[in-house]
Amino acid sequence: MFGGISVNRFRNASGTLVILNTVLYIAMVMFSPRGVGNFVYCKTLIPGSVAKYLLFGAQVGIIVSGCGEWFRLFTAMFVHGGILHLLFNMYALYYLGNLVEYTYGVWRFLVFYFASGFVGNVATQVFYRSSISLGASGAIFGLAGVLLSAGFRSDTPIFLRPYTGAALLPMIIFNIVYGFIPGSGINNAAHIGGLITGMIFGYFTNVPHYPISLRELSYRLRYRDFWTNPWYRNLRREFIWVLLGSASVVVVVIAFIALVPSSVRMLNALRGW
């Protein structure tokens, strides 16, 4: 492996995310209520046409701020508005995600992905407060931002050069410009917020050039001088990334757990209870 940390337990996080997004979309199509009318939730009149998206975690700024449903800033990354929306995003996630994960390792990848998606959704909260927002594109643009900035670092591996830096600019510029076209229905706040976050990560994060397993890292933690010995500086850095990556996954899991009672309340509102 040229770069990244070899962690056998989570060898393909990007592929796992593709599966999770797809499974959630199938569940939404199969189990969402049909033929519902407008309803009131969180003192807000909600169109019945978006009920299924909200039940599965989509974001609406008024609900996030008005009812304190912060968890939608994370769950919205997994909800998609249609099969084409899902297919385009999952193709981009699989392609860019594998590049980033292969190069930086699973734990950095998880931090890049979820942090970019979160910042993109916060930007959506600011600029499109009354609109529904859903999809993984903010997080995916974060991965593109990582690779864009990586092209301007001297320690980026040679094999990665054709996929980084200026090589990504046409794709990024096209999508950003297209998002500003009236009627496109594209959330450019999430795209730009995620992109900038990823660019910051990519510019300031070094590409690891040595493989280390999670088992070896846990073994080295037992050394008394782990936190003081200069020889273990890189290992300490990897340990921090493991903590951050693990924490990001835990936050997403908590967000979906918090979504459950919200969805129950929304179902009751749909039924007029």
Determine whether 128 is exposed, middle or buried from the number of CB atoms within 10 Å of its CB (0-12, 13-18, 19+): middle
Distance CA 74, CA 186 (A): 18
In 3D space, the residue among 267, 202, 248, 225 whose CA is nearest the CA of residue 48 turns out to be 267
Angle at 63 between CA 248 and CA 114, to 5 degrees: 15
Phi, then psi, of 45 in degrees rounded to 5? -75, 120
128: CB partners within 8 A, 6+ apart:
61, 187, 189
Kindly list the catalytic residues.
137, 191
Is the C-alpha dihedral spanning 196, 197, 200, 206 positive or negative? negative
